[in-house]
Amino acid sequence: MERFIVGTGRCGSTLLSTMLAEHSDVVSINEFLAELDPGHRFRAGPISGDAVAELLGMELRVVNEVLGRGYTSPEVQYPFGAPRARYQAGDPLPAPLLSALPRLSEDPDALFDDFVAFARSLPSQPMADHYCALFDWLAQQAGGSIWVERSGASIAYLPDLVDVFPRARFVHIHRDGPEAALSIRAYPFFRLGMAMIFDLFPPDVDEETAIRHALETPPPVGVVGQYWSDQLLHGFRALTHLDRDQIIEVRFEDLLATPRPVLERIAEHFELPTDDRFLDLGAAHVRGLPALRLPALPAEEQEALRRACRPGQVLLGRTASA
């Protein structure tokens, strides 16, 4: 069975994947698909192992541009500055080394070399078969037998994911729109991405000044709310292609308030083997509800953000901010 956690950015999916990784059979594969080149990660038709190895070696340039300017985020796990580290911040770091492989090995560079070698050994086959083989291999290297892939903002490409994995099972975790949007707004990677999507760069400046401005300037709340809603509007197109037993929804707020029953429901959906310690270990990761950001905004910005998030909130059955 193929298992995926999907959601918008800053929705709680990282916490959920960390909790699921407490299951003795589960290996969480984080940010793998999101950090591969968008133009190649879901290619159709038979693909050679060499082509997949080439894909794994490509950098995610936007992220490396941000890292090279001294910004980072908790999702980036590569050990820059460590004695054995092959790369420095800003180098053309291959995408799997940003987040996925460093979570699975204390020597991610060596794991990457073996990973690419394994990819090259694979026969020509559809991308779904390549990914299943790669994820199975990673799970085995990490000492598990079940993999769950989770990537931030993955709801935006859910239609492509369903096309590639039509029988997979999904957990869609979501968070109150204005709170998710304000968390997105604080992250430099999302800021640069939104500047590119919505053309938020100042006019008549050089490239370096434009990028620095985007990284250091919070986007307008209406833009962030639209960005959040647009991810959901695009992702929900895939729901008509899924059977009812293929996807369940989880509210981030419920995961924090009642983690054990939520994890139990997810384990049943993903058909995880019984693990007597899993629920306790997973629930122990909850540290309470984060402070709300929306009330700190001026009233007019609160209204602008709610208005921009409304399309997504309606899709999620959230008619008002939590």
pLDDT one-digit tens code per residue, 32-68: 999 999 999 999 999 999 999 999 999 998 899 899 9
Residue with tokens 């981030």: 252
Residue with tokens 């019984």: 274
Q: Quick check: 296 pLDDT over 70?
A: yes
One-letter amino acid at 311 equals P
Give pLDDT tens digits for 116-173: 999 999 999 999 999 999 999 999 999 999 999 999 999 999 999 999 999 999 999 9
Query: Which run of H or of E encompasses 29?
Result: strand 26-30
Q: Kind of pairing, strands 146-150 and 247-251?
A: unpaired
pLDDT of residue 321: 44
CB 321 within 8 A of CB 314: no
CB 20 within 8 A of CB 148: yes
pLDDT of residue 289: 86
CB 67 within 8 A of CB 184: no
How far apart, in whole angstroms, are the C-alpha atoms of residue 313 and residue 187?
22
pTM score, whole prediction:
0.96
How far apart, in whole angstroms, are the C-alpha atoms of residue 302 and residue 290?
18
- Decide: helix, strand or coil at residue 26: strand
Q: Taking all residues of the chain, what is their mean pLDDT, rounded to a whole number?
A: 96
Give pLDDT tens digits for 267-285: 999 999 999 999 999 999 9
How far apart, in whole angstroms, are the C-alpha atoms of residue 273 and residue 24?
9
Name all domains of the chain by residue range, CATH numbers in brackets. Answer: 1-25+145-322 (3.40.50.300), 32-144 (no CATH)
* pLDDT bracket for residue 320 (50, 70, 90): low
One-letter amino acid at 290 equals P
Q: Quick check: 198 pLDDT over 50?
A: yes
How far apart, in whole angstroms, are the C-alpha atoms of residue 143 and residue 137?
10
How far apart, in whole angstroms, are the C-alpha atoms of residue 205 and residue 211?
10
CA distances from 11 to 20, 75, 142 (A): 16, 13, 26
CB 130 within 8 A of CB 208: no
How far apart, in whole angstroms, are the C-alpha atoms of residue 311 and residue 177?
10
pLDDT of residue 61: 87
Q: Quick check: 319 pLDDT over 90?
A: no
Give pLDDT tens digits for 1-32: 999 999 999 999 999 999 999 999 999 999 99
pLDDT above 90 covers what percent of the chain? 96
| Spatial CA neighbour of 94 closest among 106, 118, 111 | 111
